[in-house]
Amino acid sequence: MGDYQYVKVAVANRIATLTIDHPPANAFNKQVIEELGSAFDEVTTSDEVKAIIITGAGQFFVAGADINEIYAVKDKPEEAEAFIRKGKVVFNKIEASKKPVIAAMNGRFALGGGLEMSMACHIRLAEDGLRIGQPEINLGIIPGWGGTQRLPRIVGKGKALEIMLTGDPVTAQEAYRIGLVNKVVPTGRVLKEATGLARRIVSKSALPIAAIIDAVNEGLEKDLQAGLEVETEQFVALQGSEDMDEGLKAFLEKRRPQFKDR
């Protein structure tokens, strides 16, 4: 794997862990975004990797975008647009990944761009004590990396507007209550919990993993009937695969399946 300054990459047991390490608060600047995109490309194209975890180093998950960089382009609309589009490209890659991506949201804060990145992940785990929010309105701006679109799709229009219009963070427990995170875990255990979850997922066949992600992502952009057609297409596409044959045989023979991802 590549050697990056601000993104640490570790691979074990077919699970890649990407750790954003940009002290003091793991804020996103151009270089961090570029490195995250490159590292993500590496692990998604590697045959050694079947699931991905994204977390932060130290006391922060990601505290948001680098305010200095936002300020530097405040009077330069073209540069501001380029910065925003760069982040969107990376986060869209995360959401569209056929390999499951888990956000292990650690530390004190997951704000702004940090929350937006986590919402592009397929599953989110948060440490108890974490504060989560979209505080951009306090800076006279709006979320630019998907917050206005993904947040209402996850928690509903009313709650999303409340979070974005007040700029007030919510607790990890409140985030769980409104469906923004899948689970709250004790402080210091989120990476261990995420790794355990990833291990359960990688024990399955990669073919239905990718098919489920595709069916959900594509189906949510359509009406119900069109989404059901997408599901049918994905189901039929798996017919005749070695792993389908193995899974069915293992069930009938009352043993654990040995999937080969083909």
For 144-181, the pLDDT digits (tens) are: 999 999 999 999 999 999 999 999 999 999 999 999 99
- What is the residue range of 223's domain? 206-252
258 part of a folded domain: no
* pLDDT exceeds 80 at position 1: no
Q: How far is CA 71 from CA 26, 29, 78, 80, 243, in A?
A: 18, 12, 14, 9, 52
What is the maximum span of the chain, computed from C-alpha positions, in angstroms? 67
In angstroms, the CA 258 to CA 251 distance is 11
Q: Which two tokens stand for residue 33?
A: 């975004």
pTM given for the model: 0.94
**Alpha carbon distance 52, 16 (integer Å):** 5
Q: Is 140 in the same domain as 248? A: no
d(C-alpha 262, C-alpha 252), whole Å: 20
* Residue 262 lies inside a defined structural domain of this protein: no
Are residues 72 and 19 located together in one domain of the fold? yes
Give the pLDDT mean for 9-33: 95
pLDDT computed for residue 114 by the predictor: 96
Task: Spell out the residues 6+ positions from residue 106 whose beta carbon is closer than 8 angstroms to its own.
Answer: 55, 56, 60, 61, 127, 130, 190, 191
Give mean pLDDT, residues 201-222: 96
**Would 221 be classed as within a structural domain?**
yes
- Whether 260 is in a domain gets the answer no
CB atoms within 10 A of CB 7: 25
Tell me, yes or no, whether 246 and 180 share the same domain. no
Residue given tokens 């899948």 in the structure block:
182
* Residue 52: per-residue pLDDT: 98
C-alpha–C-alpha distance, residues 24 and 58, integer Å: 8
Answer yes or no: do 241 and 148 share one domain.
no
Which pLDDT value is given to residue 203? 96
Both structure tokens of 90: 């990376």
Give the residue-averaged pLDDT of 23-32.
93
* Per-residue confidence band for 261, with pLDDT thresholds at 50, 70 and 90: very high
H or E, element range at 55:
strand 51-56
- Residues 37, 75, single domain; the answer is yes
Query: Averaged over 1-26, what is the pLDDT?
Result: 94
Count: domains in the chain: 2
User: For residue 159, what pLDDT is reported?
Assistant: 98
Q: 62: which DSSP letter?
A: B
pLDDT of residue 61: 95
Residues with catalytic annotation?
116, 136
Stretch 74-91: mean pLDDT: 91
Shared domain for 167 and 215, answered yes or no, is no
DSSP, collapsed to helix, strand or coil, labels residue 12 as strand
Return phi, psi of residue 22, to 5°.
-130, 85
Supply the CATH number for residue 168's domain.
3.90.226.10
How large is the average pLDDT for residues 185-199? Answer: 97
Each residue's pLDDT tens digit, 99-139: 999 999 999 999 999 999 999 999 999 999 999 999 999 99
Q: Output the domain CATH number for residue 247.
A: 1.10.12
Any domain includes 1 = no
Question: Does residue 193 lie within any of the structural domains?
Answer: yes
Same structural domain for residues 65 and 180? Answer: yes
End-to-end CA distance of the chain: 25
At 254, the pLDDT band (50, 70, 90 cuts) reads: very high
Residue 221 and residue 97 share a domain? no
Q: In terms of pLDDT, which residue wins out, 144 or 70?
A: 144
Which tokens is 16 given? 């890649």
Residue 138, domain member (yes or no): yes
The verdict on 193 and 217 lying in the same domain is no
Does pLDDT of 71 surpass 90? Answer: no
Q: Can you give the pLDDT at residue 66?
A: 84
- What distance in Å separates the CA atoms of residue 221 and residue 195, rounded to the nearest whole number? 30
Residues 38 and 140 grouped into a single domain: yes
CB 101 within 8 A of CB 17: no
- The mean of the pLDDT values for the chain is 95
pLDDT for 13 beyond 80: yes
Clarify whether residues 221 and 136 are in a common domain.
Answer: no
- Cβ atoms of 180 and 192 within 8 Å: the answer is no
Residue at a domain's end among 162, 177, 202: 202
List alpha helices for 121-181, DSSP H. Answer: 147-155, 157-166, 172-177
Residues 85 and 142 in one domain: yes
More confident of the two residues 114 and 74: 114
Residue 223: inside a domain: yes
Here the tokens at position 49 are 């990797």
pLDDT at 194: 98
User: What pLDDT shows up at residue 174?
Assistant: 98
